[in-house]
Chains A and B, each alone.
Chain A
């Protein structure tokens, strides 16, 4: 049974100020109601003034998604009454949005390229934030810091066919937005999703209040199951709006009121129309994720997997390109397979690491000065320092201090001799065909070198020494 999914994604644009006033958008660390003015507070007599940068950002997205920008677009009032909606209406775009009819390519569930159609993008303001207080007195608390933050709403056609596809679409969209420099993925609450989902032939259900990529997959997976169960029991799926409860991973029916909203849209007479289609030609788009991925494969000879991982975040891709000159293949392995894991473990972002440090580490590895195992140790020590707020130490210093320079040939030749001499039984076992004895001997040598030696080389030398000794 075919699943039909469409998404409405709201992203907070990373402008310095709100959509219609000069209050700064950087309120995350500040107290409630500290980034407000007469305009975003909806004080009587205050008037909106449109942020030019928000329009530019919106156009960048429209261009990246290959959309048609309307000759003339306008703002409209969406009228409804809610405590977090200061003016009693939200300024949005209705009949004539910024741009229509675009596309974004993703991978479908079989791994093939698939085109998802984008219906429209438009600008609108975020309402304030409601905090519900319970236990005894039942009332709400409102913080208007968020009131007026610029949102770009991106609406897709119902082209998605599974919760997984929806998650992949969101990830791709988020990456594109980050590449365009219009969205900060680290910002809490910066991306919210409403989803429309139906099973072919049944009614459509709207799911609201999803605020993470994982949440989308969870919510939609729950919905698919819920709807399939209804149909299996011979019941019909009711056309309704449901809320996603992130904590419990379920959707619940929203009270009836939600359904019947007549928003009485009309063009906002406080704002003038936009004629910005002519700006599109002059917008220079940065290299977008897919193009960058392909270039990484070609220019650096990377595998699809590595290229995909490294271009999934523009800052990571920038980082990689800074260190790649040392040795692209080595850099790819170390950045994508090792560094990322170590960063995740420490809850650190790629921007916490100075590229020079990793470049130095790669240089040491490439020259053979240290072994891979030592490299990991150096990396961990360095990141531990960074994470604790101390400066990120230079890898060369760590190597020096910990004495991690790769054991030179003659240094451990004598070690090998010592171990061989001390373990005659093992040597005999090896000579009589027991491979495990060699491992034992190698292990003994490794213990003595405290990991500075390359295990493969030790193995070679031990077996060589034994054979030579035999002769």
Chain B
């Protein structure tokens, strides 16, 4: 039963960059469901900007794999959501198309970089949205806006059509108001795609189960240390208490490699980004490069005019970290640290089945509150480790501090996204009851 959905939202939070007023839909598991897609995911015939001027007006000639799957499931793709430019940020403040506001409190950031998708869901404009998570970009806005967001195991969802920021770290993931809807959306998008050579064939077909008796829940001391807001920590501990009431057993664990996590994350992600963003030269797409000038002059001018300061800063950092004379000190060391962190998690998962803690060290901050890059980077401290290790991680709302949402983060073994969903589901169902 195909049709067209009329979509004319009251987008007071600036969640969307592009809306599809008349969105076609078809038959299938998501027949007629309005789904918003983050604007770094390619949609054929629909402008795809990555929140950047350098892709303003770019109309992809092809659909990302996940978009093909959405269409095949009958979903109505109603718009492309706002984001930090190229995914580089945790507040959606760096978008070239204006910031998105947090529906819970307009004066506060929605988190990032999938802030548009989170706001669209939180504001009830759409029931589901796709986001992407490189260092926390699904989980952070999910936590700040009070919704559910899952970063799948690396290699479980195809990156074909995802405009790359940090290749080895990022995944497309589902965002919705309930765990069940996140799981539903995950069932549609987690299908093998031979076009992505980093994928494994591990489709997701799971009905969430609230039975977590015997589940061993690791509680890492590093997730409750200094830098984490007291009240946030307390709220999350209470949430873990609920899991315990449901039959789970909390166990103290440690991830010693955490102290290197953020540095490793930023070296690797900026290194890969400096390479991934080199293709935006205004020749084949994007605002036209000036063909009257010489190549390097024109290329630099284009990038200066169309890439924001944060993006250029990260490209420079990445270039530096990979450059001759410094690659050994930064890039190589970061990869070693990454391997160690992956091993830390594997070791911990011998004693526990999931690991729980806060998603973010604080609740949503005000616009402009974090105005120096480094302090913003530090906000990723609790989310980035899961990207480094390639493990699944979900954020589910677990209470409020001063009226602002707090996220409970649950992480699992690679390819045990189902177990992570179940833990979140069990918690959610219990507190709803």
Is the beta-carbon distance between B198 and A45 smaller than 8 angstroms? Answer: no
Contact of A139 with B291 at beta-carbon distance under 8 Å, contacts A43-B62, A49-B194, A88-B279 already known: yes
Is the beta-carbon distance between A47 and B160 smaller than 8 angstroms? Answer: yes
- Selected interface stretch from A75-83, A100-108, A230-238: A75-83
Is the beta-carbon distance between A88 and B278 smaller than 8 angstroms? Answer: yes
Is the beta-carbon distance between B283 and A83 smaller than 8 angstroms? Answer: yes
Q: Is B168 among interface residues, defined by CB-CB distance under 8 A?
A: yes
Is the beta-carbon distance between B160 and A262 smaller than 8 angstroms? Answer: no
- Selected interface stretch from A179-187, A267-275, A311-319, A330-338: A267-275
Contact of A81 with B281 at beta-carbon distance under 8 Å, contacts A38-B62, A270-B197 already known: yes
Complex Cα gap A49–B195 (Å): 6
Decide if the interface of chain B is mainly helix, strand, loop or mixed: loop
Q: Is B305 among interface residues, defined by CB-CB distance under 8 A?
A: no
Q: Is B399 among interface residues, defined by CB-CB distance under 8 A?
A: no
Complex Cα gap A88–B283 (Å): 11
Is the beta-carbon distance between B61 and A43 smaller than 8 angstroms? Answer: yes
Contact of A81 with B278 at beta-carbon distance under 8 Å, contacts A47-B195, A86-B284, A264-B319 already known: yes
Among A43, A45, A79, A89, which residue has the most Cβ atoms of chain B within 10 A?
A: A45
Decide if the interface of chain A is mainly helix, strand, loop or mixed: loop
Is the beta-carbon distance between B275 and A89 smaller than 8 angstroms? Answer: yes
> B62 to chain A: which residues have CB within 8 Å?
38, 43
Is the beta-carbon distance between A79 and B272 smaller than 8 angstroms? Answer: no
Complex Cα gap A140–B283 (Å): 11
Q: Is A46 among interface residues, defined by CB-CB distance under 8 A?
A: yes
> A264 to chain B: which residues have CB within 8 Å?
274-275, 319, 322-324, 327
Is the beta-carbon distance between A43 and B197 smaller than 8 angstroms? Answer: no
Is the beta-carbon distance between B42 and A45 smaller than 8 angstroms? Answer: yes
The chain A residue with its CB closest to the CB of B286 is A44
Is the beta-carbon distance between B197 and A45 smaller than 8 angstroms? Answer: no
Q: Which of B5-63 contact A (CB under 8 A)?
A: 41-42, 48, 50, 55, 58, 60-62
Is the beta-carbon distance between A43 and B296 smaller than 8 angstroms? Answer: no
Q: Which of B154-212 contact A (CB under 8 A)?
A: 159-164, 167-168, 194-198
Complex Cα gap A271–B42 (Å): 21
Q: Is B260 among interface residues, defined by CB-CB distance under 8 A?
A: no
Is the beta-carbon distance between A43 and B271 smaller than 8 angstroms? Answer: no
The chain B residue with its CB closest to the CB of A260 is B324
> A49 to chain B: which residues have CB within 8 Å?
194-195, 197
Q: Which of A72-100 contact B (CB under 8 A)?
A: 77, 79, 81-83, 86-89
Nearest CB on B from A223, distance (A): 28
> B162 to chain A: which residues have CB within 8 Å?
45
> B164 to chain A: which residues have CB within 8 Å?
44-45
Task: List 7 A–B pairs whose Cβ atoms lie within 8 Å, in order of A's numbering.
Answer: A43-B62, A44-B48, A46-B160, A47-B160, A83-B283, A89-B275, A264-B324
Query: Taking beta carbons and an 8 Å cutoff, which residues of B are in contact with A?
Result: 41-42, 48, 50, 55, 58, 60-62, 64, 159-164, 167-168, 194-198, 271-272, 274-275, 277-281, 283-285, 291-292, 295-296, 299, 319, 322-324, 327, 331
